[in-house]
Amino acid sequence: MRDFSQDHHWLSINTATVRKSRGADLPLPQIIEACARRGIRAISPWRDQVAAAGLNEVSRLVRSHGLALSGYCRGGMFTATDEAGLKLARDDNRRAVDEAKELNALCLVLVVGALPGALAGKAAHKNLALSRSQVTDGIADLLEYAKQADMPLAIEPLHPMYAADRACINTMEQALDVCDQLDPSKSGALGVAVDVYHVWWDPKLQAQIARAGRSRLLAFHVCDWLTPTNDLLNDRGMMGDGVIDIPQIRGWVEAQGFAGFSEVEIFSTGHWWQRDAGEVLDTCIARHRSAV
């Protein structure tokens, strides 16, 4: 297992982590500057942040600072109530692949979607099996396009508490079943993003990480699970402040040969988004060394 205690060579910052500074929106160019200033070598930006700053400008900044993208957030949301909705999702995902390519991302992260309408508060139906089928079809379609672009797709299994509204792929096992179905040769074009926040509880985690193997472990995300957790979405903890044995999980991932970035992704309305972004980044660097 790599020694992270001496530097932050393998740290990546998911830019949602400093989406806000002292409660105010922080534009992506400023996030990039703040990361570069600290010798952070990689980021993972969100599409809305990129769109707000302009893809060309972000691409220029990323290149001029020599930043890697540990991933691009995000594709997915494949489910819909009709064919027109499915086509909209298909087209939008292709654009996400194009953007990821322009930014030279190591993978496009997929948050696959769940019951249509649920995120807005009113699910159109309760047929989770139908959503799962649409998701598999959506990934299959996108995979063909992404292969042409040489952009790996990383399915991110989300915590089961998001099964209704954000992602109906909720375990590593389920994600890997989809990988087996759509990419049986383990070409490297389709894999998983392992986010400790989503999977830490899973009694089969170690075994499924081993099953994934190096070719399907495309990204590794960290933060921590707080007790209590006061919000289902935006109360993630800084590494070391919660109950997840992050080094153990990193050890399992690295035992398979994963040697990429450890990406910090924290949504925290009440705490970290209220702090100064520079302080948050400094804390990420410190905790990357001490708690990851």
Minimal distance in Å, beta carbon 28 to its own copies?
Answer: 27
- Our CB check for its own copies shows the closer of 87 and 204 to be 204
- Beta bridge mates, 12: 42, 263
CA–CA separation, 54 and 61 (whole Å): 11
CA neighbor of 44 nearest in space, from 70, 9, 64: 70
Minimal distance in Å, beta carbon 89 to its own copies?
Answer: 19
- From its phi and psi, is residue 149 left (phi > 0), alpha (psi between -120 and 50) or beta? alpha
Residue with tokens 């047929």: 127
Q: Which of 170, 262, 268, 283 binds its own copies (CB under 8 A)?
A: 170
Q: Is 174 in the site for its own copies (CB under 8 A)?
A: yes
Question: Segment contacting its own copies (CB under 8 A): 127-135, 148-156, 186-194, 264-272?
Answer: 127-135
Size of the site for its own copies (CB under 8 A): 33
| Binders of its own copies in range 195-234 (CB under 8 A) | 200-203, 225, 227-229, 232
How is 176-222 classified by DSSP, letter by letter?
Answer: HHHHHHH-TT--SSEEEEEEHHHHTT-TTHHHHHHHHHHHHEEEEEE
Q: Which of 53, 244, 280, 292 binds its own copies (CB under 8 A)?
A: 244
CA–CA separation, 139 and 156 (whole Å): 12
Minimal distance in Å, beta carbon 123 to its own copies?
Answer: 5
Minimal distance in Å, beta carbon 136 to its own copies?
Answer: 11
CA neighbor of 237 nearest in space, from 276, 160, 291, 192: 291
Q: Is 164 in the site for its own copies (CB under 8 A)?
A: yes
Minimal distance in Å, beta carbon 201 to its own copies?
Answer: 4
CA–CA separation, 91 and 93 (whole Å): 5
Contact residues for its own copies (CB under 8 A)?
115, 118-119, 121-123, 126-128, 132, 159-161, 163-165, 168, 170-171, 174, 200-203, 225, 227-229, 232, 242-245
